A and B are shown apart, each in its own frame.
Chain A
Protein backbone atom coordinates (compact mmCIF):
# COMPACT_ATOMS: atom_id res chain seq x y z
CA UNK A 1 0.00 0.00 0.00
CA UNK A 2 1.48 3.41 -0.94
CA UNK A 3 2.39 5.68 1.99
CA UNK A 4 -0.25 8.20 0.91
CA UNK A 5 -2.99 5.61 1.05
CA UNK A 6 -1.65 4.31 4.32
CA UNK A 7 -1.94 7.74 5.88
CA UNK A 8 -5.45 8.15 4.48
CA UNK A 9 -6.50 4.86 6.04
CA UNK A 10 -4.93 5.93 9.29
CA UNK A 11 -6.77 9.24 9.11
CA UNK A 12 -10.07 7.49 8.52
CA UNK A 13 -9.41 5.06 11.34
CA UNK A 14 -8.45 7.73 13.84
CA UNK A 15 -11.45 9.87 12.98
CA UNK A 16 -13.75 6.86 13.18
CA UNK A 17 -12.42 5.98 16.62
CA UNK A 18 -13.04 9.49 17.83
CA UNK A 19 -16.52 9.52 16.37
CA UNK A 20 -17.21 6.34 18.30
CA UNK A 21 -15.71 8.00 21.35
CA UNK A 22 -18.18 10.84 20.90
CA UNK A 23 -21.01 8.42 20.48
CA UNK A 24 -20.20 6.61 23.69
CA UNK A 25 -20.16 9.83 25.69
CA UNK A 26 -23.09 11.80 24.43
CA UNK A 27 -26.67 11.31 25.51
CA UNK A 28 -29.49 12.72 23.50
CA UNK A 29 -32.60 14.32 24.96
CA UNK A 30 -34.18 10.90 25.10
CA UNK A 31 -31.39 9.89 27.54
CA UNK A 32 -30.20 7.31 25.07
CA UNK A 33 -26.54 7.04 24.31
CA UNK A 34 -25.62 8.69 21.05
CA UNK A 35 -24.02 5.49 19.83
CA UNK A 36 -27.36 3.78 20.20
CA UNK A 37 -29.05 6.58 18.27
CA UNK A 38 -26.46 6.31 15.54
CA UNK A 39 -26.66 2.56 15.42
CA UNK A 40 -30.40 2.70 15.11
CA UNK A 41 -30.08 5.44 12.48
CA UNK A 42 -27.57 3.35 10.53
CA UNK A 43 -29.52 0.12 10.73
CA UNK A 44 -33.06 1.43 10.35
CA UNK A 45 -32.74 2.34 6.63
CA UNK A 46 -31.83 -1.26 5.87
CA UNK A 47 -34.67 -2.45 8.06
CA UNK A 48 -37.02 -0.08 6.29
CA UNK A 49 -35.83 -1.23 2.88
CA UNK A 50 -36.18 -4.84 3.97
CA UNK A 51 -39.63 -4.20 5.35
CA UNK A 52 -40.78 -2.44 2.19
CA UNK A 53 -39.26 -5.16 0.05
CA UNK A 54 -40.92 -7.89 2.05
CA UNK A 55 -44.20 -5.98 2.04
CA UNK A 56 -43.99 -5.54 -1.72
CA UNK A 57 -43.26 -9.22 -2.22
CA UNK A 58 -46.07 -10.20 0.14
CA UNK A 59 -48.55 -7.88 -1.58
CA UNK A 60 -47.47 -9.13 -4.99
CA UNK A 61 -47.97 -12.69 -3.84
CA UNK A 62 -51.33 -12.00 -2.24
CA UNK A 63 -52.67 -9.75 -5.00
CA UNK A 64 -51.48 -11.69 -8.02
CA UNK A 65 -50.08 -15.16 -7.54
CA UNK A 66 -52.38 -16.20 -4.72
CA UNK A 67 -55.46 -15.11 -6.68
CA UNK A 68 -55.40 -17.93 -9.18
CA UNK A 69 -58.42 -19.63 -7.59
CA UNK A 70 -60.28 -16.42 -6.93
CA UNK A 71 -62.36 -16.53 -10.10
CA UNK A 72 -63.74 -19.95 -9.20
CA UNK A 73 -64.24 -18.88 -5.57
CA UNK A 74 -66.04 -15.78 -6.82
CA UNK A 75 -68.39 -17.82 -8.97
CA UNK A 76 -69.06 -20.24 -6.12
CA UNK A 77 -69.74 -17.37 -3.75
CA UNK A 78 -72.04 -15.68 -6.26
CA UNK A 79 -74.04 -18.88 -6.67
CA UNK A 80 -74.19 -19.32 -2.92
CA UNK A 81 -75.25 -15.69 -2.56
CA UNK A 82 -78.08 -16.15 -5.03
CA UNK A 83 -79.19 -19.28 -3.24
CA UNK A 84 -79.10 -17.53 0.12
CA UNK A 85 -81.05 -14.55 -1.25
CA UNK A 86 -83.76 -16.91 -2.46
CA UNK A 87 -83.75 -18.69 0.88
CA UNK A 88 -84.02 -15.39 2.74
CA UNK A 89 -86.96 -14.33 0.58
CA UNK A 90 -88.68 -17.64 1.28
CA UNK A 91 -88.00 -17.34 5.00
CA UNK A 92 -89.27 -13.77 5.06
CA UNK A 93 -92.44 -14.89 3.34
CA UNK A 94 -92.87 -17.69 5.83
CA UNK A 95 -92.21 -15.34 8.72
CA UNK A 96 -94.82 -12.91 7.44
CA UNK A 97 -97.26 -15.76 6.97
CA UNK A 98 -96.54 -16.96 10.49
CA UNK A 99 -97.23 -13.48 11.83
CA UNK A 100 -100.51 -13.30 9.99
CA UNK A 101 -101.59 -16.75 11.16
CA UNK A 102 -100.59 -15.88 14.71
CA UNK A 103 -102.76 -12.76 14.52
CA UNK A 104 -105.63 -14.82 13.21
CA UNK A 105 -105.17 -17.32 16.02
CA UNK A 106 -105.09 -14.63 18.67
CA UNK A 107 -108.24 -13.06 17.25
CA UNK A 108 -109.95 -16.40 17.08
CA UNK A 109 -109.00 -17.17 20.69
CA UNK A 110 -110.35 -13.79 21.78
CA UNK A 111 -113.62 -14.58 20.04
CA UNK A 112 -113.80 -18.17 21.17
CA UNK A 113 -117.60 -18.15 21.42
CA UNK A 114 -117.95 -17.46 17.70
CA UNK A 115 -117.34 -20.46 15.48
CA UNK A 116 -114.97 -19.48 12.75
CA UNK A 117 -112.58 -21.12 10.34
CA UNK A 118 -109.38 -19.89 8.85
CA UNK A 119 -109.16 -20.00 5.08
CA UNK A 120 -106.54 -19.11 2.59
CA UNK A 121 -107.21 -16.75 -0.31
CA UNK A 122 -106.46 -18.64 -3.50
CA UNK A 123 -107.88 -16.31 -6.12
CA UNK A 124 -109.39 -12.96 -6.92
CA UNK A 125 -111.95 -11.39 -9.19
CA UNK A 126 -112.06 -12.71 -12.72
CA UNK A 127 -113.08 -9.26 -13.99
CA UNK A 128 -113.59 -5.68 -12.90
CA UNK A 129 -117.37 -6.02 -12.70
CA UNK A 130 -117.26 -7.46 -9.20
CA UNK A 131 -114.82 -7.39 -6.33
CA UNK A 132 -114.51 -10.93 -5.03
CA UNK A 133 -111.92 -13.34 -3.69
CA UNK A 134 -111.83 -17.12 -3.74
CA UNK A 135 -111.09 -19.20 -0.62
CA UNK A 136 -109.67 -22.69 -0.35
CA UNK A 137 -112.53 -23.82 1.88
CA UNK A 138 -116.07 -24.74 0.78
CA UNK A 139 -119.25 -26.53 1.76
CA UNK A 140 -117.39 -29.65 2.89
CA UNK A 141 -115.75 -27.46 5.52
CA UNK A 142 -119.07 -26.05 6.69
CA UNK A 143 -119.04 -22.85 4.72
CA UNK A 144 -122.39 -21.64 3.50
CA UNK A 145 -123.61 -18.72 1.49
CA UNK A 146 -124.01 -15.37 3.35
CA UNK A 147 -121.51 -16.25 6.04
CA UNK A 148 -119.40 -13.35 7.19
CA UNK A 149 -115.70 -13.13 6.39
CA UNK A 150 -113.33 -11.09 8.50
CA UNK A 151 -109.68 -10.60 9.43
CA UNK A 152 -108.31 -9.44 12.77
CA UNK A 153 -108.16 -5.96 11.24
CA UNK A 154 -111.80 -5.78 10.29
CA UNK A 155 -114.68 -6.86 8.09
CA UNK A 156 -113.84 -8.32 4.67
CA UNK A 157 -117.22 -9.25 3.15
CA UNK A 158 -119.51 -12.23 3.01
CA UNK A 159 -119.63 -15.55 1.23
CA UNK A 160 -121.45 -15.09 -2.02
CA UNK A 161 -121.10 -18.65 -3.32
CA UNK A 162 -120.09 -21.85 -1.57
CA UNK A 163 -118.79 -24.73 -3.62
CA UNK A 164 -117.70 -28.14 -2.50
CA UNK A 165 -114.09 -27.28 -1.79
CA UNK A 166 -113.91 -23.55 -2.44
CA UNK A 167 -116.00 -20.52 -1.85
CA UNK A 168 -116.35 -17.04 -3.28
CA UNK A 169 -116.40 -13.96 -1.07
CA UNK A 170 -117.97 -10.67 -2.09
CA UNK A 171 -115.73 -7.95 -0.76
CA UNK A 172 -117.11 -5.03 1.20
CA UNK A 173 -115.93 -2.66 -1.49
CA UNK A 174 -118.13 -4.22 -4.15
CA UNK A 175 -121.01 -1.92 -5.17
CA UNK A 176 -123.57 -4.60 -4.20
CA UNK A 177 -122.03 -5.29 -0.79
CA UNK A 178 -122.76 -3.79 2.61
CA UNK A 179 -122.63 -4.25 6.36
CA UNK A 180 -124.67 -3.01 9.31
CA UNK A 181 -122.46 -0.42 11.01
CA UNK A 182 -122.35 2.48 13.38
CA UNK A 183 -119.99 5.26 14.34
CA UNK A 184 -117.97 4.14 17.34
CA UNK A 185 -118.10 7.48 19.20
CA UNK A 186 -121.51 8.91 18.39
CA UNK A 187 -123.13 5.46 18.09
CA UNK A 188 -125.06 6.60 15.01
CA UNK A 189 -126.32 3.61 13.10
CA UNK A 190 -125.99 3.49 9.33
CA UNK A 191 -125.12 0.80 6.84
CA UNK A 192 -121.80 0.96 5.07
CA UNK A 193 -121.49 -0.29 1.52
CA UNK A 194 -119.12 -0.39 -1.39
CA UNK A 195 -119.18 1.67 -4.54
CA UNK A 196 -116.69 -0.31 -6.54
CA UNK A 197 -113.79 1.79 -5.28
CA UNK A 198 -111.24 1.29 -2.54
CA UNK A 199 -113.27 3.52 -0.18
CA UNK A 200 -116.65 2.61 1.31
CA UNK A 201 -119.60 4.93 1.75
CA UNK A 202 -121.84 5.57 4.73
CA UNK A 203 -125.09 6.83 3.23
CA UNK A 204 -127.73 7.47 5.84
CA UNK A 205 -126.30 9.86 8.37
CA UNK A 206 -128.43 13.00 8.62
CA UNK A 207 -126.85 16.34 7.99
CA UNK A 208 -127.70 17.40 11.55
CA UNK A 209 -125.62 14.67 13.21
CA UNK A 210 -122.06 15.43 14.16
CA UNK A 211 -119.44 13.22 12.56
CA UNK A 212 -115.74 13.87 12.79
CA UNK A 213 -112.94 12.87 10.48
CA UNK A 214 -110.97 9.88 11.69
CA UNK A 215 -113.88 8.50 13.67
CA UNK A 216 -113.96 4.72 13.77
CA UNK A 217 -116.81 2.80 12.13
CA UNK A 218 -117.70 -0.57 13.65
CA UNK A 219 -120.25 -3.28 12.99
CA UNK A 220 -123.61 -2.80 14.59
CA UNK A 221 -124.71 -6.44 14.54
CA UNK A 222 -127.97 -5.38 12.97
CA UNK A 223 -127.32 -7.38 9.80
CA UNK A 224 -127.26 -10.65 11.74
CA UNK A 225 -124.13 -11.68 9.92
CA UNK A 226 -121.32 -9.93 11.77
CA UNK A 227 -121.09 -9.59 15.53
CA UNK A 228 -121.06 -6.11 17.00
CA UNK A 229 -118.00 -3.91 17.40
CA UNK A 230 -115.85 -5.40 14.68
CA UNK A 231 -113.84 -2.71 12.93
CA UNK A 232 -115.24 -1.67 9.57
CA UNK A 233 -113.16 1.36 8.78
CA UNK A 234 -112.34 4.99 9.48
CA UNK A 235 -114.11 8.15 8.34
CA UNK A 236 -111.88 9.93 5.82
CA UNK A 237 -114.24 12.37 4.12
CA UNK A 238 -117.47 14.15 5.12
CA UNK A 239 -119.61 16.22 2.73
CA UNK A 240 -123.14 17.54 3.24
CA UNK A 241 -125.79 16.01 0.96
CA UNK A 242 -129.45 16.71 0.22
CA UNK A 243 -130.78 14.86 3.27
CA UNK A 244 -127.81 12.81 4.42
CA UNK A 245 -124.12 13.39 4.70
CA UNK A 246 -121.87 11.85 2.12
CA UNK A 247 -119.32 10.01 4.25
CA UNK A 248 -116.37 8.07 2.83
CA UNK A 249 -114.88 5.31 4.93
CA UNK A 250 -111.52 3.65 4.51
CA UNK A 251 -111.83 -0.10 5.17
CA UNK A 252 -110.06 -1.35 8.29
CA UNK A 253 -109.02 -4.58 6.62
CA UNK A 254 -106.54 -4.37 3.81
CA UNK A 255 -108.87 -5.70 1.15
CA UNK A 256 -106.31 -5.39 -1.59
CA UNK A 257 -103.79 -7.68 0.07
CA UNK A 258 -105.71 -10.50 1.64
CA UNK A 259 -103.97 -13.83 2.12
CA UNK A 260 -105.70 -15.47 5.06
CA UNK A 261 -109.20 -14.73 6.37
CA UNK A 262 -111.61 -16.03 8.97
CA UNK A 263 -115.06 -17.30 7.95
CA UNK A 264 -117.80 -16.97 10.57
CA UNK A 265 -119.41 -20.42 10.58
CA UNK A 266 -122.93 -19.44 11.54
CA UNK A 267 -125.96 -17.92 9.99
CA UNK A 268 -127.61 -17.11 13.29
CA UNK A 269 -127.46 -13.67 14.88
CA UNK A 270 -124.05 -13.24 16.46
CA UNK A 271 -122.86 -11.49 19.54
CA UNK A 272 -119.27 -10.96 20.50
CA UNK A 273 -117.99 -11.82 23.97
CA UNK A 274 -117.51 -8.15 24.88
CA UNK A 275 -120.77 -7.02 23.42
CA UNK A 276 -122.43 -4.40 25.58
CA UNK A 277 -126.00 -3.39 25.87
CA UNK A 278 -127.22 -2.69 22.34
CA UNK A 279 -129.54 -0.02 23.65
CA UNK A 280 -126.54 2.28 23.74
CA UNK A 281 -126.72 2.57 20.01
CA UNK A 282 -129.11 4.97 18.39
CA UNK A 283 -130.59 4.73 14.98
CA UNK A 284 -129.77 7.60 12.71
CA UNK A 285 -132.67 7.10 10.39
CA UNK A 286 -135.93 5.21 10.17
CA UNK A 287 -135.24 1.52 9.74
CA UNK A 288 -137.65 1.39 6.86
CA UNK A 289 -135.52 3.88 4.97
CA UNK A 290 -132.34 2.23 6.00
CA UNK A 291 -132.37 -1.47 5.32
CA UNK A 292 -128.96 -3.09 5.76
CA UNK A 293 -127.87 -4.03 2.26
CA UNK A 294 -126.39 -7.31 3.29
CA UNK A 295 -128.77 -9.61 1.60
CA UNK A 296 -127.33 -9.03 -1.82
CA UNK A 297 -125.36 -11.92 -3.09
Chain B
Protein backbone atom coordinates (compact mmCIF):
# COMPACT_ATOMS: atom_id res chain seq x y z
CA UNK B 1 0.00 0.00 0.00
CA UNK B 2 3.00 2.18 -0.12
CA UNK B 3 2.15 3.56 -3.54
CA UNK B 4 1.21 6.84 -5.19
CA UNK B 5 -1.03 7.01 -8.27
CA UNK B 6 -0.53 9.29 -11.26
CA UNK B 7 -3.36 11.01 -13.04
CA UNK B 8 -2.18 12.06 -16.50
CA UNK B 9 -4.08 14.91 -18.00
CA UNK B 10 -2.59 16.12 -21.21
CA UNK B 11 1.07 16.57 -20.74
CA UNK B 12 1.00 17.24 -16.98
CA UNK B 13 0.65 14.54 -14.36
CA UNK B 14 -0.90 14.94 -10.90
CA UNK B 15 -0.24 12.58 -8.08
CA UNK B 16 -3.00 10.90 -6.08
CA UNK B 17 -1.97 10.58 -2.46
CA UNK B 18 -2.73 7.83 -0.03
CA UNK B 19 -2.69 8.36 3.72
CA UNK B 20 -1.48 6.37 6.64
CA UNK B 21 -3.87 3.86 8.07
CA UNK B 22 -6.38 5.51 10.34
CA UNK B 23 -5.10 8.95 9.46
CA UNK B 24 -8.28 10.10 7.76
CA UNK B 25 -10.71 9.02 10.52
CA UNK B 26 -8.45 10.37 13.21
CA UNK B 27 -7.94 13.69 11.47
CA UNK B 28 -11.67 14.00 10.87
CA UNK B 29 -12.62 13.20 14.43
CA UNK B 30 -9.96 15.52 15.76
CA UNK B 31 -11.24 18.33 13.58
CA UNK B 32 -14.77 17.76 14.81
CA UNK B 33 -13.75 17.64 18.43
CA UNK B 34 -11.63 20.74 18.19
CA UNK B 35 -14.39 22.49 16.28
CA UNK B 36 -16.82 21.65 19.06
CA UNK B 37 -14.47 22.47 21.87
CA UNK B 38 -12.52 25.51 20.73
CA UNK B 39 -15.35 28.06 20.47
CA UNK B 40 -16.27 27.32 24.06
CA UNK B 41 -13.00 28.90 25.16
CA UNK B 42 -12.19 31.18 22.26
CA UNK B 43 -15.24 32.87 20.90
CA UNK B 44 -13.54 34.06 17.76
CA UNK B 45 -12.65 30.47 16.95
CA UNK B 46 -16.25 30.10 15.77
CA UNK B 47 -15.00 31.62 12.52
CA UNK B 48 -13.11 28.42 11.82
CA UNK B 49 -14.65 25.43 10.10
CA UNK B 50 -12.03 22.76 10.69
CA UNK B 51 -14.19 19.88 9.35
CA UNK B 52 -14.56 21.82 6.13
CA UNK B 53 -10.82 22.32 5.89
CA UNK B 54 -10.29 18.59 6.39
CA UNK B 55 -12.81 17.78 3.66
CA UNK B 56 -11.15 20.25 1.31
CA UNK B 57 -7.71 18.88 2.02
CA UNK B 58 -8.67 15.25 1.64
CA UNK B 59 -10.64 16.01 -1.51
CA UNK B 60 -7.74 17.87 -3.08
CA UNK B 61 -5.37 15.12 -2.09
CA UNK B 62 -7.40 12.02 -2.89
CA UNK B 63 -8.67 13.49 -6.16
CA UNK B 64 -11.46 10.95 -6.43
CA UNK B 65 -14.89 12.64 -6.66
CA UNK B 66 -16.79 9.65 -5.29
CA UNK B 67 -14.51 9.27 -2.30
CA UNK B 68 -14.44 13.02 -1.78
CA UNK B 69 -18.20 13.48 -1.76
CA UNK B 70 -18.74 10.47 0.52
CA UNK B 71 -16.14 11.78 2.92
CA UNK B 72 -17.78 15.19 2.81
CA UNK B 73 -21.13 13.55 3.51
CA UNK B 74 -19.80 11.67 6.50
CA UNK B 75 -18.03 14.71 7.96
CA UNK B 76 -20.99 16.97 7.34
CA UNK B 77 -23.49 14.61 8.96
CA UNK B 78 -21.25 14.23 11.97
CA UNK B 79 -20.93 17.98 12.24
CA UNK B 80 -24.71 18.24 12.01
CA UNK B 81 -25.05 15.68 14.76
CA UNK B 82 -22.76 17.68 17.01
CA UNK B 83 -24.33 21.02 16.24
CA UNK B 84 -27.39 20.69 18.43
CA UNK B 85 -31.10 20.59 17.74
CA UNK B 86 -31.16 23.82 15.76
CA UNK B 87 -29.16 22.27 12.95
CA UNK B 88 -31.01 19.47 11.20
CA UNK B 89 -29.12 16.46 9.93
CA UNK B 90 -28.16 17.15 6.35
CA UNK B 91 -27.59 20.89 6.51
CA UNK B 92 -23.79 20.74 6.61
CA UNK B 93 -23.94 17.25 5.13
CA UNK B 94 -25.21 18.55 1.82
CA UNK B 95 -22.79 21.48 1.78
CA UNK B 96 -19.78 19.34 2.56
CA UNK B 97 -20.87 16.70 0.07
CA UNK B 98 -20.78 19.35 -2.61
CA UNK B 99 -17.42 20.67 -1.41
CA UNK B 100 -15.97 17.17 -1.25
CA UNK B 101 -17.05 16.53 -4.81
CA UNK B 102 -15.79 19.87 -6.11
CA UNK B 103 -12.48 19.63 -4.26
CA UNK B 104 -11.87 16.14 -5.59
CA UNK B 105 -12.82 17.14 -9.10
CA UNK B 106 -10.65 20.25 -9.04
CA UNK B 107 -7.80 18.43 -7.34
CA UNK B 108 -7.70 16.01 -10.26
CA UNK B 109 -7.18 18.91 -12.67
CA UNK B 110 -5.02 21.41 -10.79
CA UNK B 111 -1.81 21.38 -8.86
CA UNK B 112 -3.01 22.09 -5.34
CA UNK B 113 0.29 21.74 -3.55
CA UNK B 114 1.28 25.37 -3.75
CA UNK B 115 0.33 27.40 -0.67
CA UNK B 116 -1.15 30.21 -2.72
CA UNK B 117 -3.36 27.78 -4.62
CA UNK B 118 -4.45 26.20 -1.37
CA UNK B 119 -5.27 29.62 0.06
CA UNK B 120 -7.34 30.63 -2.94
CA UNK B 121 -9.10 27.30 -3.28
CA UNK B 122 -9.93 27.12 0.42
CA UNK B 123 -11.35 30.65 0.41
CA UNK B 124 -13.41 29.80 -2.69
CA UNK B 125 -14.67 26.53 -1.25
CA UNK B 126 -15.56 28.23 2.03
CA UNK B 127 -17.69 30.76 0.16
CA UNK B 128 -19.35 28.02 -1.86
CA UNK B 129 -19.94 26.07 1.35
CA UNK B 130 -21.65 29.07 2.93
CA UNK B 131 -23.69 29.61 -0.21
CA UNK B 132 -24.93 26.02 -0.18
CA UNK B 133 -25.79 26.29 3.53
CA UNK B 134 -27.69 29.52 2.88
CA UNK B 135 -29.44 27.97 -0.11
CA UNK B 136 -30.48 24.98 1.94
CA UNK B 137 -31.77 27.13 4.77
CA UNK B 138 -33.66 29.52 2.54
CA UNK B 139 -35.04 27.15 -0.05
CA UNK B 140 -35.48 23.86 1.72
CA UNK B 141 -36.00 24.93 5.32
CA UNK B 142 -37.65 28.32 4.68
CA UNK B 143 -35.38 29.91 7.28
CA UNK B 144 -34.06 33.46 6.98
CA UNK B 145 -30.37 33.33 6.07
CA UNK B 146 -28.25 35.98 4.33
CA UNK B 147 -26.51 34.85 1.20
CA UNK B 148 -23.13 36.37 2.02
CA UNK B 149 -21.93 38.88 4.58
CA UNK B 150 -18.71 40.65 5.44
CA UNK B 151 -18.41 38.28 8.35
CA UNK B 152 -18.46 35.37 5.91
CA UNK B 153 -15.81 37.06 3.82
CA UNK B 154 -13.57 37.51 6.85
CA UNK B 155 -14.20 33.92 7.87
CA UNK B 156 -13.24 32.77 4.38
CA UNK B 157 -9.93 34.61 4.63
CA UNK B 158 -9.24 33.32 8.14
CA UNK B 159 -10.02 29.74 7.19
CA UNK B 160 -7.90 30.02 4.06
CA UNK B 161 -5.02 31.34 6.14
CA UNK B 162 -5.40 28.58 8.71
CA UNK B 163 -5.66 26.04 5.91
CA UNK B 164 -2.24 27.05 4.60
CA UNK B 165 -0.67 25.83 7.85
CA UNK B 166 -3.10 23.01 8.58
CA UNK B 167 -2.60 21.45 5.18
CA UNK B 168 1.18 21.35 5.78
CA UNK B 169 0.52 19.42 8.98
CA UNK B 170 -1.88 17.11 7.21
CA UNK B 171 0.71 16.52 4.48
CA UNK B 172 2.69 14.65 7.09
CA UNK B 173 -0.08 12.06 7.27
CA UNK B 174 0.46 11.08 3.67
CA UNK B 175 2.17 7.87 2.88
CA UNK B 176 5.54 8.45 1.40
CA UNK B 177 5.48 7.77 -2.33
Contact = CB atoms under 8 A, between A and B. Distances in A.
Given A7-B101, A26-B141, A28-B142, A18 B69 contact: no
Given A22-B90, A22-B91, A22-B136, 7 more contacts: A3-B66, A7-B69, A7-B104, A10-B70, A14-B73, A23-B140, A25-B90
Per DSSP, chain A at the interface is: helix
B90 A21 contact: yes
Contacts of A15: 94, 97-98
28 contacts: A6-B66, A7-B101, A7-B105, A10-B66, A10-B70, A11-B69, A11-B97, A14-B69, A14-B70, A15-B98, A18-B73, A18-B89, A18-B90, A18-B97, A19-B94, A19-B140, A21-B88, A21-B89, A21-B90, A21-B93, A22-B89, A22-B90, A22-B136, A23-B140, A25-B88, A25-B89, A34-B140, A34-B141
A4 interface: yes
Given A18-B73, A25-B89, A34-B141, A4 B65 contact: yes
A23 B94 CA distance: 13
Interface of A: 3-4, 6-8, 10-11, 14-15, 18-19, 21-23, 25-26, 28, 34
Interface in B116-139: 136
A26 B94 contact: no
Contacts of A10: 65-66, 69-70
Contacts of B98: 11, 15
Nearest to A20: B90
Contacts of A14: 69-70, 73, 97
Contacts of A22: 88-91, 94, 136, 140-141
A36 to B, nearest CB: 14
Contacts of A25: 88-90
A19 B97 CA distance: 12
Contacts of B65: 4, 7-8, 10-11
A13 to B, nearest CB: 10
Contacts of A28: 142
Nearest to B142: A28
Contacts of A8: 65
Contacts of B101: 7, 11
A7 B107 CA distance: 14
Residue of A15, A21, A34 with most partner-chain B CB within 10 A: A15
B119 to A, nearest CB: 26
Nearest to A16: B94
A34 B77 CA distance: 19
B158 to A, nearest CB: 27
A28 to B, nearest CB: 7
Nearest to B101: A11
Contacts of B73: 14, 18
A11 B98 CA distance: 7
B142 A18 contact: no
A59 B66 CA distance: 53
B11 to A, nearest CB: 20
A-B pairs with lowest CB-CB distance, top 9? A7-B65, A18-B90, A22-B90, A21-B90, A25-B88, A7-B66, A18-B93, A18-B94, A11-B101
Contacts of A34: 140-141
A105 B140 CA distance: 88
Contacts of A3: 66
Nearest to A6: B66
A28 B104 CA distance: 35
Contacts of B70: 10, 14
A51 B97 CA distance: 39
A186 B90 CA distance: 108
A34 B89 CA distance: 13
A3 B69 CA distance: 14
A20 to B, nearest CB: 8
A112 B97 CA distance: 113
Interface string B49-68: 00000000000000011100
A26 to B, nearest CB: 6
Contacts of B89: 18, 21-22, 25
B140 to A, nearest CB: 6
